[in-house]
Amino acid sequence: MVFEDIREPVGVITMFENGYMQPLKFRWKNRVYKIERVHGKWVSHEGYTKFFHYSVSAGSPDCFELCFDADKMAWELTRVCMEG
């Protein structure tokens, strides 16, 4: 497996329900990825800023880490884990 740090802003379609958030699709480099599975989620902090991280797969063996910045209300593709 090869990990590549990306740290690029992405658009994410997200469902908010009962106090939880669930990413459904994201757009990166003019391609839309439908999230098929969330492998894990966790929260981190930098000072007072809260970040929500999601490890997801989208129809390929590759995994993506998405991060939601609660202060900026913005998503970022943090890293990609590629098979091979």
- The tens place of each residue's pLDDT in the chain, 84 residues long, gives 899 999 999 999 999 999 999 999 999 999 999 999 999 999 999 999 999 999 999 988 899 999 999 999 999 999 999 886
**Helix, strand, coil shares, percent, the chain, to 5:** 0, 75, 25
pLDDT the model gives residue 22: 96
Query: What pTM, to 2 d.p., does this model score?
Result: 0.92
Name the residue ranges covered by the structural domains of the chain. 2-82
pLDDT the model gives residue 5: 96
pLDDT the model gives residue 76: 98
CB 82 within 8 A of CB 4: yes
